[in-house]
Structure 1
Amino acid sequence: MKPTVLFVCVHNAGRSQMAAGWLQHLAGDRVEVLSAGSAPAETINPMAIAAMAEEGIDIASAQPKILTDGAVRASDVVITMGCGDACPFYPGKRYEDWQLDDPAGRGLEAVRPIRDEIRKRVETLIAEIAPTGGPAV
């Protein structure tokens, strides 16, 4: 059974969407990918879309979603990015909090290093939960 990863940030418009895009792109069908926000924005951050497009990853069609109890329950791994106490906690889930700058209101030059840091963390996560050639953990 493939692991499910939920990325959570406040607006579900930047960091969590970039992380979901990277995980889907790099892990393919080895991982189920979800993302949500505690106070979702209306649209995805245009600079996040542009930064990911530079890497050949299209997140423009994604929509910010509200964080639900069900999404957390359905996930094996929950990655939070500054959502604080809004994120529900359930025993038995793997939780990580990624301290990343918020790309909101920043230009493309400032968003690129955030995008690149997210990629590194996603690559590490994939190696831990869904390595190629081996069973998912």
Structure 2
Amino acid sequence: MAHTPSVLFVCVHDAGRSQMAAGFLRALAGDRIEVRTGGSEPANELNPAAVAVMAEIDIDISGARPTPLAHDAVGLSDVVVTMGCGEVCPYFPGISYRDWVLADPAGQPIEVVRNIRDHLRILVGNLIAELVPVPAR
């Protein structure tokens, strides 16, 4: 049985960037990659602008909830993608860490949040291609 790679997206509030990235990963990779999110200081609810811009492209993240960053989630992940959470993410040897530099969508106009979403789509697509490459024919 093949190993299913797992990715943990981490940002401060787990309400915008990490949730949009997770939405893309679920929509584009399906069950080929396991996805988790966490926040160093999780918000009480998702960023409404993040939910709205994802809905514009038919990805519904409205049911997601910000969650605290759990050390266990880091240890169970093959790849940890941080987005603006600084040094709060615990380090585990053998795990691949990435830091995606993206603006925080909190309080931003919808056009800025759309740009963040579009940048995330590219980054997530590249990550999928790396983790579950399509076999050559």
TM-score range, shorter chain: over 0.9
1:15-44 Cα shifts (integer Å, max 9, x gaps):
000000000000001000000100000000
Instruction: List runs of 5+ in structure 2 lacking aligned partners.
Output: none
Match of 1:100 in 2: 102
Q: Structure 1: how far apart are the matches of 2:132 and 2:105?
A: 28
Q: Structure 2: how far apart are the matches of 1:52 and 1:71?
A: 25
Match of 2:75 in 1: 73
Secondary structure of 1:22 counterpart: helix
Alignment RMSD (CA, Å) = 0.9
Q: Structure 2: how far apart are the matches of 1:44 and 1:77?
A: 23
Instruction: List runs of 5+ in structure 1 lacking aligned partners.
Output: none
Match of 1:4 in 2: 6
1:67-89 Cα shifts (integer Å, max 9, x gaps):
01100011000000011111001
1:57-111 Cα shifts (integer Å, max 9, x gaps):
0000100000011000110000000111110011100000000000000121110
Aligned sequence identity (%):
58
Match of 2:130 in 1: 128
When the two structures are superposed, what TM-score results if normalisation uses the length of structure 1?
A: 0.95
When the two structures are superposed, what TM-score results if normalisation uses the length of structure 2?
A: 0.95
Match of 1:53 in 2: 55
* Number of aligned residues: 134
Secondary structure of 2:60 counterpart: coil
Q: Residue 22 of structure 1 is aligned with which of 5, 18, 24? A: 24
Which one-letter code corresponds to 1:132 in the other structure?
V
Secondary structure of 1:102 counterpart: coil
Moved over 2 A (4+): none
Q: Structure 1: how far apart are the matches of 2:77 and 2:24?
A: 17
Q: Residue 35 of structure 1 is aligned with which of 34, 37, 41? A: 37
Which one-letter code corresponds to 2:92 in the other structure?
Y
